[in-house]
């Protein structure tokens, strides 16, 4: 499986997916830590990929996503954005509703 196929599979199989540096329990950068904090505040489970452990994904995802930085939040197959966008949406209450709707839809489909 090519790196691009792996990325597409991860995005399609995980309704809420964060590409980040480190893990939710041990983020390796401040931006990833903020993103995890906002997502955790939404109260739903989310998947993550540690790009430090996956240099191939770290190299190819920015071109695929047309987004140069990490973290990257993908919801329902769509790129939501990076840390600044995640934090703005969280502060406005938009992230919580987006995450809850996606999680509910995902549970209903199971």
pLDDT in tens, 30-50: 999 999 999 999 999 999 999
Report the chain's mean pLDDT, rounded to a whole number. Answer: 97
Q: Are the CB atoms for 40 and 70 separated by under 8 Å?
A: no
Domain that holds residue 50: 3-100
| Residue 110 resides in a domain | no
Q: Is 70 annotated as a binding residue?
A: yes
The DSSP bridge pattern shows strands 47-50 and 78-81 to be unpaired
Q: Tell me whether residue 25 is annotated as binding.
A: no
Residue 83 lies in a domain: yes
71/34 Cα distance (integer angstroms): 9
56 annotated to bind ligand: no
Positive or negative torsion for Cα 68, 85, 24, 103 = negative
Residue 107: inside a domain: no
Pair of tokens at residue 12 = 């399609």
Residue 58 lies in a domain: yes
* Burial call 6-21: b when 16+ CB within 10 Å, e when fewer: bbeebbeebbbbbbbb
58 assigned ligand-binding residue: yes
Long-range contacts of 53-59 (CB under 8 A, 24+ apart): 56/3, 56/6, 57/3, 57/6, 57/7, 57/19, 59/3
Annotation-wise, does 31 bind a ligand? no
Question: Does residue 78 carry a pLDDT above 90?
Answer: yes
User: Is the residue at 108 inside a domain?
Assistant: no
Which CATH number do you get for residue 23? 3.40.30.10
Confidence at 110, pLDDT banded by 50, 70, 90: confident
Total structural domains in the chain? 1
| pLDDT-above-70 percentage for the chain | 100
* 42 annotated as belonging to a binding site for a ligand: no
pLDDT one-digit tens code per residue, 5-34? 999 999 999 999 999 999 999 999 999 999
Provide the whole-model pTM: 0.96
Q: What are the backbone angles phi and psi of residue 45, rounded to the nearest 5°?
A: -70, 150
């Amino acid at each position: 499986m090519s790196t691009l196929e792996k990325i597409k599979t991860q995005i399609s199989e995980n309704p809420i997916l964060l590409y980040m540096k480190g893990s939710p329990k041990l983020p390796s950068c401040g931006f990833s830590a903020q993103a995890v904090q906002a997502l955790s505040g939404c109260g739903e489970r989310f998947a993550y990929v540690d790009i430090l452990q996956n240099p191939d994904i770290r190299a190819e995802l920015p071109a695929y996503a047309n987004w140069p930085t990490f973290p990257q939040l993908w919801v329902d197959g769509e790129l939501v954005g990076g840390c600044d966008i995640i934090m703005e949406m969280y502060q406005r209450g938009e992230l919580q509703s987006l995450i809850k709707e996606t999680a509910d839809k995902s549970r209903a489909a199971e």
